[in-house]
A and B are shown apart, each in its own frame.
Chain A
C-alpha cells in the first residue's frame, strides 16, 4: 500500500499478512464485535484507515459492511444511508463527524436517527477530535474511540479507552504486542508485529528508518501522559525562522481551527523566513450562514466575544466581508 504522500512522493509500504493479522489479533482482545454488527463504510480502500483498519476489522469479525453510496462526500447522503443501515460502529474522521453532528442539530428526528441505541461506538483518527464534538457523543452514551498510527504500522498503534475521559490530542495506549518509546528529540518510536519491513525499492527512504534495536521512526513528535500518548506534531513540519526561532506549526493551526468556526483548515509556513504566514481556508457554509448561537468548537466565536481573541476573530470578520466582495477581480489587501 502506498502512503498518501502528505510530505512528499508516496512511498510503497510493504505490509505482510502477519502485519495485518497481528493488528486484528490485538483488536480482538479489545473490541467485542461480531456477525451481528453493521459497518457503514465510506473510507477509501487505497488508504490504510479504510483499506486495512476498517475493512479487515469487518472481515475478521464477520460483520456486515455496507458501502456508502456517496463516498462520504455528502453528509445528507450519509444520513440517508445511516437510516437504512443503522450502523453499530462507524469509522470516520473529525471533519465528517462535524458535518454529521451539525445535521443532527437541525432536526430532532435526524438526531434520534444518528445517535440510535444500537450504535456501540464511533472510531476516529487522522486528526484530533475536538472536545466539544466528542462530548456530543458521550452525553448520549455513545463511546468515542480514537486511534493513532501510520500506514507503515498496519496502521493502528494506540487506542483510547472509551471508559476514560478524553483529552484532546491524546491518542491512548499501545495495542497489545506493540511497544512505544521516545527518541531524545521526542519522536515516537514503535516496535511490534504490526510494523512493516521497509519501503519497496526505496533505499533512500529506508536509510535510518529503524533504530539498532528494531524500533521504527514514526516521524511524529509526542509525549507520554497519564492518559496515554499525546501527539504534538509531525517532525518534518517543525521549522525555524531566519532569526532562529523554532515554530511548531500544528500548535498554531489547531489554535486557529479550534477557536474560529469560520475556518475550515489553517496551515502555517515560513521556514527560513523573517516571519511565518498562516494560510486560512474558510468554512464556506458557515460564512454564508453564520450561526452565533451554535458552534461545535471551543473558545470565542466572532463576533460574539471577539475581544478574547482579536487576531482570529478579526480575521473571521474580514472573511465575511471578503465573502460578500468576491466580485473583485484581483488579490487585494483588506
Chain B
C-alpha cells in the first residue's frame, strides 16, 4: 500500500531519532489496513494498492 503522505515527528509516527513508530502508524492507517483484509471502511485519504500477484504478472510479461 503506497501512502500519499509522510511520517513525521509532529504526528508521532516517527520517534525523535527518526525511527518509525509502528503502533502509531498502524493506528493512523488502521482503516486502510482493515479494508485490505476485507473490511469496508469509508475512507477519505488517498492510498494506492499494488497486489503482488499483479506485479508478478507484469514482470513475466516484460521478461
Main secondary structure on A side of the interface with B: mixed
Instruction: Determine the distance from Cα of A264 to Cα of B2 in the docked complex, in whole angstroms.
Output: 11
Q: Mark B9-39, 1 if CB is under 8 A from A, else 0.
A: 0000001111111111110010011001100
C-alpha spacing A5/B24, complex, angstroms? 9
Could you tell me if B33 and A269 are in contact, using CB atoms closer than 8 angstroms?
yes
Interface pair B19/A6, CB less than 8 Å apart: yes
Is B22 a contact of A318 with CB atoms below 8 Å? no
- Judging by beta carbons under 8 Å apart, are B58 and A319 in contact? no
Alpha-carbon distance between A330 and B19 when the two chains are bound, in angstroms: 29
Given A277-B33, A311-B55, A314-B55; A95-B18 close (CB under 8 Å)? yes
Nearest A-chain residue to B14, judged by Cβ: A265
Q: A269-B33, A314-B58, A331-B32 are in contact. Are A280 and B15 (CB under 8 A)?
A: no
CB-based contact A267/B2 at 8 Å: no
The answer to whether A332 has its CB under 8 Å from any CB of chain B is yes
Q: Tell whether A277 pairs with B36 under 8 Å between CB atoms, given A269-B26, A310-B59, A333-B49.
A: yes
A318 and B48 contacting across the interface, CB-CB below 8 Å: yes
- A127 with B19: CB separation less than 8 A: yes
CB of A267 within 8 A of CB of B20, answer yes
Interface size on B, residues (CB 8 A): 39
Known contacts A6-B23, A311-B52, A328-B46; is A279 also within 8 Å of B17 by CB?
A: no
B23 and A278: CB pair below 8 A?
no
Asked if A211 is an interface residue, CB under 8 A from chain B, the answer is no
Within the complex, what minimum Cβ distance (angstroms) separates B4 from chain A? Answer: 6
Task: Kindly list chain B residues whose C-beta atoms are within 8 Å of the C-beta of A6.
Answer: 15, 19-24
Do A310 and B48 touch (CB < 8 A)? no
User: What chain B residues lie within 8 Å of A334 (beta carbons)?
Assistant: 48-50
For residue A95, which residues in chain B have a CB less than 8 angstroms away from its CB? 18
List of B residues within 8 angstroms of A96 by Cβ: 18
- Contacts A281-B5, A322-B2, A322-B48 known; A315 to B16 CB distance under 8 Å? no
Cβ-closest chain B residue relative to A306: B62
The reply to whether A333 and B48 contact each other, CB–CB distance below 8 Å, is: yes
Question: With contacts A49-B17, A322-B48 known, is A315 near B2, CB below 8 A?
Answer: yes
Task: Beyond the given A269-B26, A311-B59, please list 10 additional residue pairs across the A-B interface where CB-CB is below 8 A.
Answer: A6-B19, A47-B15, A95-B18, A127-B18, A267-B22, A279-B3, A279-B33, A311-B56, A331-B49, A333-B48
Q: Which residues of A does B touch, CB under 8 Å?
A: 4-8, 43-44, 46-47, 49-50, 93-96, 125-127, 237, 264-265, 267, 269, 273-274, 277-282, 284, 307, 310-311, 314-315, 318-319, 322-323, 326, 328, 330-334
Q: Chain B interface (Cβ within 8 Å of chain A)?
A: 1-7, 15-26, 29, 32-33, 36-37, 43, 45-52, 55-56, 58-59, 62-63
Q: 8 shortest A-B CB distances, which residue pairs? A: A310-B59, A126-B17, A47-B16, A4-B15, A6-B21, A95-B18, A44-B16, A333-B49
